[in-house]
Amino acid sequence: MRRRIFTDFDGPIMDVSERYYQVYLYCLDKIRKPEQVITTLSKSEFWELKRSQIPEKEIANLSGFKDEKQSVAFAHLRRATVHTDPYFSYDCLIDIAIPALEKAQQLGIDLAVMTMRRRRELEPVLDRYNLRRFFPSDRIFCLDDDYVKTVDIQDKPKLMKIAQDTLPEVEKQWMIGDTEADIISAQTYHVPAIAVLSGIRNYIQLQKYKPHQIVTNLSCAINEVVSL
Question: Which CATH number characterizes residue 125's domain?
Answer: 3.40.50.1000
Angle at 205 between CA 221 and CA 51, to 5 degrees: 85
Which of 34, 56, 88 is the last residue before a domain boundary? 88
**Residue 24 and residue 100 share a domain:** no
Helix and strand numbers, DSSP H then E, in the chain: 11, 8
Same domain, 73 and 140: no
Q: What angle do helix axes 180-188 and 152-166 make, rounded to 10 degrees?
A: 40
178 shares its domain with 132: yes
Query: CA gyration radius for the chain?
Result: 18
pLDDT by residue for the chain (228 residues), tens digit each?
A: 799 999 999 999 999 999 999 999 999 999 999 999 999 999 999 999 999 999 999 999 999 998 999 999 999 999 999 999 899 999 999 999 999 999 999 999 999 999 999 999 999 999 999 999 999 999 999 999 999 989 999 999 999 999 999 999 999 999 999 999 999 999 999 999 999 999 999 999 999 999 999 999 999 999 999 887
Which one of 88, 109, 142 terminates a domain? 88
Strand order in the sheet with 172-177: 140-143, 110-118, 3-7, 172-177, 193-196, 213-215
pLDDT score, position 214 = 98
Identify the domain containing residue 43 by its residue range: 17-88
Q: Looking at the structure, do residues 124 and 211 belong to the same domain, yes or no?
A: yes
Q: Which residues contact 95 (CB under 8 A, 6 or more apart)?
A: none
Same domain (yes/no): 96, 181:
yes
Instruction: Please answer whether residues 115 and 122 qualify as being in contact, where contact means their C-beta atoms are separated by less than 8 angstroms.
Output: yes
The answer to whether residues 164 and 177 belong to one domain is: yes
Domain count, the chain: 2
pLDDT at site 134? 98
Same domain? For 83 and 115 the reply is no
Q: From 88, 108, 138, give the residue that closes a domain.
A: 88
Same domain for 124 and 161?
yes
Tell me, yes or no, whether 109 and 49 share the same domain. no
Question: Distance between alpha carbon 143 and the CA centroid of its chain, in Å?
Answer: 14
Same domain for 173 and 188, yes or no, is yes
Report whether 195 contacts 183 (CB < 8 A): yes
